[in-house]
Amino acid sequence: MIAFCTYRPAPPASHQAPSIRLRCRDFVFVAFNFLTEKEASAVYNSIKSLTCKLGRIEKLYAFSYVPQPPEKDLDGWNIFDYKKEFARQGVTKEAGWRITNINADYAVCYVFDEV
């Protein structure tokens, strides 16, 4: 939810600490002060690499999960029937809902920017 990230290195003659300031999309502002330029620069570059030019959608996942043997053998995605689950929740044609597979691969909402 980061809208803008600013790296502020410490001016050579001042006694200010280097900092990174984040502005979030919900207008929350966060400032991080660092003891050294090296730390501030490393964190800024890390934020930049994780939020710009992703390369693959997996970097947007909140976590990474590798199932253990009992669960791994089940292949849960093939067991799960989303149409039955939607019907259980009342998402049906009769209720005015429509289910499509138009954007199943997220090609419409995700753009790769290769360099």
Residue 47 lies in a domain: yes
Model pTM above 0.75 = no
The number of domains in the chain is 1
Q: Strand pairing of 2-8 and 19-24?
A: antiparallel
| DSSP code for 106 | -
Strands (E), the chain: 2-8, 19-24, 29-33
Classify residue 31: in a domain, yes or no.
yes
pLDDT in tens, 58-103: 666 677 777 788 877 887 777 888 889 999 999 999 999 988 888 7
| 3-state SS, residue 83 | helix
Provide CB contacts within 8 A for 30, sequence distance 6+. 21, 22, 24
Kindly state whether residue 15 falls inside one of the protein's structural domains. yes
| Residue 114, SS3 per DSSP | coil
Would you say residue 35 lies in a domain? yes
Domain contains 80: no
Domain contains 9: yes
DSSP reduced 3-state for 21: strand
The model's pLDDT over 11-45, given as tens digits with 9 standing for 90+, comes to 878 788 899 999 888 889 999 999 989 999 999 98
Residue of higher predicted confidence among 114 and 62: 62
pLDDT confidence of residue 115:
45
In a domain, 92, yes or no: no
Give residue 57's pLDDT: 61
Which of 66 and 57 is assigned the larger pLDDT?
Answer: 66
Q: Which range marks the domain in which residue 41 is found?
A: 2-56
Q: Output the pLDDT for position 18.
A: 92
Domain-embedded: residue 11:
yes
What pLDDT sits at residue 114? 53
